[in-house]
Amino acid sequence: MGKPAAQQAPKVILISLDGAQPDLISAFLDSDAMSRHSGLGIIRRRGVSARQNITATPSLTTVSHITIATGSSAVHNDIPGNTFHPVGASIASSISGFAAPIGGYDIDPLGPSVTPTAEPLWVTLRAAGPKIKVNKTMALVRNIDVAPTIMSILGVEPETTVDGRVLSKIFRN
């Protein structure tokens, strides 16, 4: 007899559609303006989706993505915009929010902070791995709530710098 096939760990893929409101995507799928049998239709049916999203402030791509990744607002994750002026840098310089160090930077020498004020979710996920069942829908989701919710599911207490709330209580059974 051969050995049973090893079960692979499930993969988590987070798709962020910049500017796509969950209610509009649902309306397009429900009206057949978008196919329910391909693309986002399959993802909604077989994956995890949100009915509503309350974005970060300011409503910018980088700010929202870092908020999702850390569960912290710009005040704590130190990514205030798509581009910004790093304190301590020359007046003519700017930094891309996409390339900026998450959780702040040190001034001397200028670079990522040795004591960051926020930690990205993937650091926690590498240590524990997610345990979310497929086909779950969250009722009301703010970008800021994603990281602390996943941390809670993993049994990890969110840091005090996390501004979001844990949404586990509103997951559907």
Does 71 fall in a domain? Answer: yes
Q: What is the DSSP string of 28-96?
A: HHHTTSS-TTSHHHHHHHHS-EES-EE--SS--HHHHHHHHHHS--HHHH---SSEEPPTTS-TT--EE
Does 94 fall in a domain? Answer: yes
What's the average pLDDT block by block, 10 residues per block, for the chain (173 residues)? Answer: 62 72 86 88 77 81 88 88 85 86 82 85 63 51 69 73 67 43
Handedness of CA 142, 144, 147, 152 (dihedral sign): negative
What's the domain count of the chain? Answer: 1
Which distant-in-sequence residues (6+ apart) come within 8 Å of 28 by Cβ?
34
* Structural domain boundaries enclosing 97: 54-129+142-163
CA pair distance 78, 118, nearest whole angstrom: 8
Does 8 fall in a domain? Answer: no
Q: Which of 140, 142, 143, 149 lies closest to 167, judged by CA?
A: 149
Handedness of CA 15, 119, 82, 22 (dihedral sign): positive
CA pair distance 48, 147, nearest whole angstrom: 15
- Residue 170 near residue 137, CB atoms below 8 Å: no
DSSP state of 6: P
Does 173 fall in a domain? Answer: no
Does 39 fall in a domain? Answer: no
What's residue 30's pLDDT?
92
CA pair distance 143, 137, nearest whole angstrom: 15
Answer whether the bond into residue 148 is a cis peptide, omega within 30°.
no
Does 66 fall in a domain? Answer: yes
What's residue 173's pLDDT?
38
Does 47 fall in a domain? Answer: no
Residue 43 φ then ψ, to 5°: -60, -45
Does 85 fall in a domain? Answer: yes
CA distances from 101 to 56, 117, 164 (A): 18, 11, 20
What's residue 133's pLDDT?
52
What's residue 70's pLDDT?
87
